[in-house]
Structure 1
């Protein structure tokens, strides 16, 4: 069945990346097979959650892990777990005044909106956000100076969304946390490295299941055994509103296992696939295109398109025109105000790449013909 036609939906070419607004990733046949099995069977759900978590943890040499509904749920449930420390009273009264140790410290430049503000997830877990440092700078000393008897944990966000310059490293954040007998929570939602952060001894590491691992709509939290037990306990508390289905648990477990075993696309392979698109875009009047690496240092390369003064339209107009076509073409727009957009090709096929080049040419030609100018 063609569900695009059934529901009158627009087809999408995702040149934006692993984005929630577009459904994040495509599933492999292995993942779909695991989901189908899960959807057609019954389980003792606590048993399923515990044993899949333990199985995945062994694959990456972590103490334990637990699958949750999303990375956002992982943040909220991790915060609630650390605040509650296994207390059943807190579990059923998560915002009780009996618990005062609720402050979650994070660098000011890490208090970002990734589709929702990260502070929303912290507060959902019962935490109180305490920003350290400044928007363009945060050091170990800035973090340490904000610690009080009410501090519950330190949160570090490893993401391209955050300020990158003049920020303390994960290693430095971990050192400050452990010097003050506090846990460090690492939000590594879109990161691709499943080993390094866990091996550093970080207390809780949170990933999105659907991004780097191309798994189901899900998240996973790795960490110390006791802390993971407390996170898992939240399924009877605030986590009840964030529960994940059996089919997605098995789908993510399969996706992670496949991710560990498979050879991912190398930097050189990605650049080679990008080359024809970059060449095509460079042939368009008013457009300059080059290959650019992800600013957060991940091994991801994209086509970086710059709209210059010779073009008959600006970057904002180009982005909107790409979205309004069918198929709609979504790009990365973070530097659109500077005349720059990027094409992330990780989920783009060869045929879709040709459509991108053709569509950009058509849009520029249309604006040239109609005499439209910069707004």
Structure 2
């Protein structure tokens, strides 16, 4: 009996996305083996964090790197670092911002649930722009002596009338204000691990438990050496605002193994395989009256990988979209999919193990033809 069976939990085939609520992704053997090995010994955590960070920085062509307790924790620590630097008095003072920089600038179109991680440090978010567009002068006017950073959320919300990231970096850098890029789900492409910082961003933050397939409770922060040092001082095991965001030795070593693996992958072959899966799904599903399947690109996070959008004519198939989703979830095996509008679903191959693409197709065909 598996641990999940003992707990009365049904494992899920994830045809949706690298979602935290579904466990992010599945760790490959080399990551698990590295974590098991790390678990067998005591070690100085601060020393390990520094050495792992040095190796991650080398691998990703960055000045410095830090392993955080997920990407959201990386946002908290990046915000704190931009406020306090390495000043011990300022670090002890947080989250009291009296006399400290207390504003962070963000595009109005970039506001999302994850900016709560920025706000929990106590800063005020200063919005610029509208969905219809943002002018350079709006960012210039928003920057003042209280500005700690400009945050840029890369992903599905990017491009809705915002300034180009290059322009944001140019304006902010000229005024000595760091730009922090939340790129949690922006892998692939692998080049993003160094692209944002080479553009001039001070920090870029990635999830360790999404496409990197490292520990779900890990994140990767890369960028300027001075700010990474400030992040370390604001983080575990120091008694500072990041103390509850503990990163264990297993997560540090596991993420390092995951990054090494990711850099060695044939990403072109992986994308080609996903294209084949999507094409196969569409060909089979389009044979069913009342069903339309088509390639959708890019995926939900703006990653350059395909997925299939499948829409249903409820009158023809005798089922609503929600009934289809429910039957997939309640069946054996349980399958999670993403919703598409009012009458469709997305099928995503990026989170499937080999062979699961056929299981997903067979289950969906059985639901539709049952």
State TM-score, norm by structure 2.
0.91
Contact 1:66-1:221 within 8 A present in 2 as well: yes
Q: Distance in 1 between matches of 2:74 and 2:222?
A: 10
1:252 equivalent in structure 2? 255
Contact 1:17-1:346 within 8 A present in 2 as well: yes
- From 357, 363, 366, the counterpart of 2:361: 357
Q: How does 1:19-168 map to 2 (within 5 A)?
A: 19-112=19-112, 117-160=113-156, 162-168=157-163
Whether 2:180 is the aligned partner of 1:185: answer yes
Q: Structure 1 residues 147 and 308 mapped into 2: Cα distance closer, same or farther (>3 Å)?
A: farther
Q: Deviation at 1:5? A: 1.6
Q: Distance in 2 between matches of 1:219 and 1:350?
A: 26
SS in 2 for 1:49: helix
Whether 2:333 is the aligned partner of 1:313: answer no
Which deviates more, 243-252 or 186-195? 186-195
Q: Deviation at 1:55? A: 0.9
Q: Deviation at 1:88? A: 1.7
TM-superposition CA deviations, 1:42-87 (whole Å, max 9, x none): 1111000011001110112211011011000000010011111222
Q: Deviation at 1:136? A: 4.5
SS in 2 for 1:342: strand
Q: Structure 1 residues 286 and 247 mapped into 2: Cα distance closer, same or farther (>3 Å)?
A: same
Q: How does 1:278-293 map to 2 (within 5 A)?
A: 278-293=282-297
Q: Structure 1 residues 317 and 164 mapped into 2: Cα distance closer, same or farther (>3 Å)?
A: farther
TM-superposition CA deviations, 1:254-293 (whole Å, max 9, x none): 1101111221244332211222222222122211001111
Q: Distance in 2 between matches of 1:55 and 1:66?
A: 10
Which deviates more, 23-32 or 311-320? 311-320
Q: Distance in 2 between matches of 1:55 and 1:33?
A: 19
- From 258, 272, 277, the counterpart of 1:273: 277
Contact 1:11-1:326 within 8 A present in 2 as well: no
2:335 equivalent in structure 1? 329
1:171 equivalent in structure 2? 166
Q: Deviation at 1:179? A: 2.1
TM-superposition CA deviations, 1:289-345 (whole Å, max 9, x none): 011111565221111112236443333332233222232211122x333x2321111
Q: Distance in 1 between matches of 2:148 and 2:165?
A: 18
Q: Distance in 1 between matches of 2:229 and 2:42?
A: 23
Q: How many residues align?
A: 359
Whether 2:294 is the aligned partner of 1:299: answer no
2:15 equivalent in structure 1? 15
Contact 1:183-1:203 within 8 A present in 2 as well: yes
Q: Distance in 2 between matches of 1:257 and 1:67?
A: 14
Q: Is there any run of 5+ residues in structure 2 with no aligned partner, and where? A: none
Q: Deviation at 1:97? A: 4.2
SS in 2 for 1:346: helix
SS in 1 for 2:201: coil
- From 252, 263, 266, the counterpart of 1:263: 266
SS in 2 for 1:198: helix
2:208 equivalent in structure 1? 209
State TM-score, norm by structure 1.
0.90
Contact 2:16-2:351 within 8 A present in 1 as well: no
RMSD between aligned residues:
1.8
- From 340, 347, 360, the counterpart of 2:344: 340
Contact 1:86-1:230 within 8 A present in 2 as well: yes
Q: Is there any run of 5+ residues in structure 1 with no aligned partner, and where? A: 367-375
Contact 1:60-1:194 within 8 A present in 2 as well: yes
